[in-house]
Structure 1
Amino acid sequence: MKSVEEARATPSVPSEASAARPEIALLLSAVFLVYLAQMTLNPIIAPLSREVGLAEWQIGAMISIAAVMLVLTGQFWGRRSQSWGRKPVLVAAFMLATVTMSLFALLAWLGMVGAIAGIELFLLFVLLRGVGFGTAISAVLPTAQAYIADVTSDETTRVKGMAGVGAVQGISMIAGSVVGGVLSVFDILAPLIAVPVLLAGGLILVAVRLRREPRHRLVEKPARVSPLDARVWPFLLAGFGMFTALGFIQVLIGFIVQDRLGLGAETAGLLTGGALLLAGLGLIVAQAVVVPRSRWSPATLLRVGGAIALVGFALLIPDAGPAPLFTSILLIGFGLGIATPGFTAGPTLMVDRDEQGGLAGLTSATTGLTFVIAPTAGTALYGFGVAVPITVGTVIMAIVTVFVLAHPHFRGIPTPAQGPPPA
């Protein structure tokens, strides 16, 4: 590991950093397209499952397996992005995603016409949407995050770059929900056809426009980063706690809106869409406006964002009518939107360059792990009462908020120019 003095003595290379700026825009476009494709599919997953005769738990298992693949392959892809280069990794990821989702659309059609059904259909759904697409999508985020960490030379720029990744995810969440919902009005197969088209567009973009890094910029043997590494585990724990708290309520928003407001299915669907839109808008405003302009350190982002999200969680516990309900969802999205760049950028300031790919995969896997655990636990607790999973999420968020306020690791985080502290 470099000492502080060695890191300070390392000259910056403005020309390379300057040349990298357009590449950051292309990588953000790749992130947008892959998550737009994912979100376009989400609105029709539930009705599709009923059309092809699959149970709700089978769709849940398919999504959980995709999250498991994110956990298992995230660090692999992050490290390969440093040793192979970003372009080969993204080309491979988009190619795999395009092929698997094209086959998924064909499989869904075969299921709807009755050509394939039962356990065979379920296993093929898991193989294509769970294993195949899950493996492919797990490459994109670590690659973008590792690249941003590699080409940014100061804390403010790095935080801004990481916030950009979160912002395009928020935009894709809103856009995908709209595109999927609108296309499903024409035919349930329309979003299924649109998904591989969007992925093919991403494949063309990275294959044609993204430059390959010069060989001297690659890392021959990227280092693996342990989740127990003393430099990064506090950030990973904070991120795991934040997204676990979110996971306890995220899949329940539709149920909460319908049950608390006493709505029919159609009206509940409309207002649930509005609630998710508010959460997405809060996230976008936080990461596209507040984070870049505030110039706060990662620790400050975690503290401020965590406190705001905690207020949102607490406001959601009582059944106080529609205004507090929607306000709480907006605050949760806004607060987590501020805190997330602190979670993703903070640990990158603590590790060496050859560890950035492994770290990016680890942070992505940390988020993915929460989607394996929390949604199942949240839906199970909902059976005991609407407020039970919300209260559990609030308690977890409170613990995270206290942790980032009190733990000494969040004080005095070095800038990239200073390097990590001596071993």
Structure 2
Amino acid sequence: MPDTTPDTQTQPPQVRLLLGAVFLAYLAQMTLNPVIAPLAREAGLAEWQIGVVISTAAIMIVLTSQLWGRRSQSWGRKPVLIAALASATLAMLAFAVLAILGMRGLVTGTALFALFVLTRGVIFGGALAAVAPTAQAYIANVTETEQARVKGMAGVGAVQGIAMIAGAVVGGLLAAISIEASIVAVPILLGGGVLIVALGLRREPRTELIPDPPRVSPTDTRVWPFLLAGFGMFTALGFIQVITGFIAQDRFTLDAQMTGIVTGGALLAAGIGMVLAQSVIVPKSRWAPRTLLRVGTVVAAAGFAVLLIGANMTVFVLAIFLVGLGLGIAMPGYTAGASLLMRSDEQGGLAGLIGATTGLTFVIAPTMSTVLYSIDPLLPIAIGGGIMCVVFLFVLLHQRFRP
């Protein structure tokens, strides 16, 4: 994987290891996504219960992201990542055991739901909250120019996109074997991340640490327009992300195994779009953050429109690809735009705040989308597309996004 930061001569191995940790964490998460819908139905859980599990993880990201971002500057990257990835590994190991017991009817109903909330929601969500802010704060601290910062943040996003592609492939292939195979793979991947960080990532000298990094307020005038734009984008994404499997299963009348394969293919298309955007379009275009936000939201909104009217599987996959492509273009504008306005000691707090804002979108959106889906399958898609259009108008007209 190429190093996407400008300090390739001074610390390329550390940058690659850091991005490798991000990759494995999100690969584990994405490997589970293709089977989450059929898993819910095989275990006897309702759509809204899976929405609550995802929303609980998002709440934990909101509550802990800025703490993790600041701690990555005061404790160092290595201790933060080891603690987070080890906790995530144990949580998903417990989740895998519970899921298998649930599908076999040995743990059911309220007990299974509550344990899913605890493992996949509370513990895994709180642990995952550390990964992206740690990487973003580091990238911000080793880049100075606008182009370098945008490129570096795009590198973090590209790794997440690659994880989406790999997760869709791995999850889909394992789903073809069994749902259990996909579930068991998740803690194994996370455990590999723990080993890589523990054995390879160096600890910073004390002179590089900041004992008490400042908190960053979400109402800071330098920050809130970017946070609002990001909140809107990821809220729109949240309205379709959890229900993608349900859309595939119901629209095309698929069984549980085929649903996992088709959902994996759709998520693969989204990941390809995201990687294409952040590995090719963003670096080659050299667009400013405001332009990235405008172009990206338009493309993503087009994806929602296609998903709304798509009647066959090819159009369905194309729609998800466009959403991934649009978000891949917009995300570096969201993360780098605010970062360029902050001091170096504020980068950890800002990275955590960005993570918390992204997490906040998934507190309500998954539960709301599953509830709306039960009313009308087109309703969450239409609302998500409308939100994306509003974000485009905001970044087009607000003074913070003008030259």
TM over 0.5: yes
Q: Which residue of 241, 263, 266 corresponds with 1:275?
A: 266
Counterpart position of 1:205: 196
Greater Cα offset, 79-88 or 106-115: 106-115
**Structure 2 equivalent of residue 395 of structure 1:** 386
- Summarize deviations over 1:52-103 as a string: whole Å, max 9, x none: 4444433322221111101110111000000101111001111111222223
Q: Which moved more, 1:403-412 or 1:221-230?
A: 403-412
1:172 matched to 2:151? The reply is no
Q: Against the structure 1 CA distance between its residues 326 and 54, is the aligned structure 2 distance closer, same or farther, given a 3 Å change threshold? A: closer
Contact 1:257 1:268 in 2 (8 A): yes
Aligned to 2:231: 240
Secondary structure, aligned partner of 1:126: helix
Do the aligned partners of 2:47 and 2:370 also contact (CA within 8 Å) in 1?
no
Query: What is the TM-score normalised by the length of structure 2?
Result: 0.90
Cα offset, 1:147, TM superposition: 0.5
**Separation of aligned partners in 2, 1:72 and 1:42:** 23
The equivalent residue for 2:66 is: 75
User: Once structures 1 and 2 are overlaid, which stretch shifts more, 77-86 or 205-214?
Assistant: 205-214
Tell me, yes or no, if the aligned pair for 1:39 and 1:176 is still in contact at 8 Å: yes
The aligned counterpart of 2:398 is 407
Of the three residues 328, 337, 344, the one matched with 1:337 is: 328
1:346 aligns with 2:337: yes
Equivalent of 1:307, from 295, 298, 306?
A: 298
**2: distance between equivalents of 1:229 and 1:84?**
25
**Partner residue, 2:3:** none
Change (3 A) 1:114 1:307: closer
1:251 — aligned with what?
A: 242
Where do 5+ consecutive residues of structure 1 fail to align?
1-14, 413-423
Unmatched runs of 5 consecutive residues or more in structure 2: 1-5
Give the aligned length: 397
Match of 1:415 in 2: none
Look up the match of 1:36: 27
Which has the larger displacement, 225-234 or 383-392?
A: 383-392
Deviation at 1:323, TM superposition (A): 5.5
Distance 1:193 1:237 in 2: 37
Counterpart among 115, 129, 132 of residue 123 in structure 2: 132
**Cα distance in 2, alignment partners of residues 116 and 313 from structure 1:** 38
1:61 — aligned with what? 52
Equivalent residue for 2:186? 195
Distance of 1:115 and 1:316 partners within structure 2: 38
The structural deviation recorded for 1:122 is 2.9
Structure 2 residue aligned with 1:419 = none
Secondary structure, counterpart of 2:218 in structure 1:
coil
Query: Matched residues in 2 for 1:117 and 1:48: separation?
Result: 13
One of 191, 212, 220 as aligned partner of 1:229: 220
Alignment correspondent of 2:283: 292
Higher mean Cα deviation, 167-176 or 85-94? Answer: 167-176
Distance 2:216 2:89 in 1: 30
User: Could you state the TM-score of these two structures normalised by the residue count of structure 1?
Assistant: 0.86
Point out the more displaced range, 280-289 or 44-53: 44-53
Structure 1's 278 and 407: CA in aligned 2 closer, same or farther, altered over 3 A? Answer: same
Higher deviation after alignment, 399-408 or 76-85: 399-408
Answer whether contact 2:173 2:261 (CA < 8 A) is retained.
Answer: no
1:372 maps to what in 2?
A: 363
What is the Cα deviation at residue 295 of structure 1?
A: 1.5
Contact 1:17 1:152 (C-alpha < 8 Å) held by counterparts: no
In 1, the alpha carbon distance for the partners of 2:119 and 2:328 equals 31
Q: State the distance in 2 between where 1:207 and 1:378 align.
A: 39
- What amino acid maps onto 2:293 in structure 1? L
Letter in 2 for 1:84: W
Say if 1:382 and 1:229 are closer, same or farther in 2 by CA, change over 3 A: same
Shift of the alpha carbon at 1:199? 1.3
